[in-house]
């Protein structure tokens, strides 16, 4: 498992968002540069648990246009309970949660 504070999402690719309202979970799938292979993206899932609020706003055409270069600008994760912001090339994902796990 990867720690949120150690994960850089600049130039990562958003590949999916799964909302699980009855479980109060949101799973965000990304491909990000991690570890010792700086030129290879790794598939990761950001699993938000105990979700209280979720907002997503994005321009699908802009996301598609910037996918190969990376359509995530950066993120500001809440390291414990709180609100995490994932800033996209043209949009944002906001999750208020109790915890986050990265696998």
How far the first Cα of the chain sits from its last, in Å, is 5
DSSP assignment letter at 70: -
Specify the pTM.
0.94
Per-chain mean pLDDT for the chain:
94
Q: Which two tokens stand for residue 81?
A: 């309970």
Mapped onto helix, strand or coil, the DSSP state of residue 13 is strand
Asked whether 33 and 8 are in contact (CB, 8 A), the reply is yes
Place of tokens 């799938």: 29
What is the per-residue pLDDT across 10-65, written as a single tens digit (0 to 9) for each? 999 999 999 999 999 999 999 999 876 668 999 999 999 999 999 999 999 999 99
């Amino acid at each position: 498992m990867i720690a949120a504070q150690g994960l850089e999402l600049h130039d990562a690719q958003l590949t999916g968002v799964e909302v699980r309202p009855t479980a109060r979970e949101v799973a965000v799938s990304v491909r990000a540069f991690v570890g010792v292979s700086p030129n290879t993206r790794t598939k990761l899932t950001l699993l938000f648990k105990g979700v209280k609020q979720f907002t997503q706003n994005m321009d699908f055409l802009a996301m598609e246009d910037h996918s190969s270069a990376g359509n995530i600008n950066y993120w500001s994760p809440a390291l414990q309970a709180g609100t995490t912001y994932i800033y996209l090339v043209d949009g944002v994902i906001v999750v208020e949660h109790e915890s986050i796990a990265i696998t």
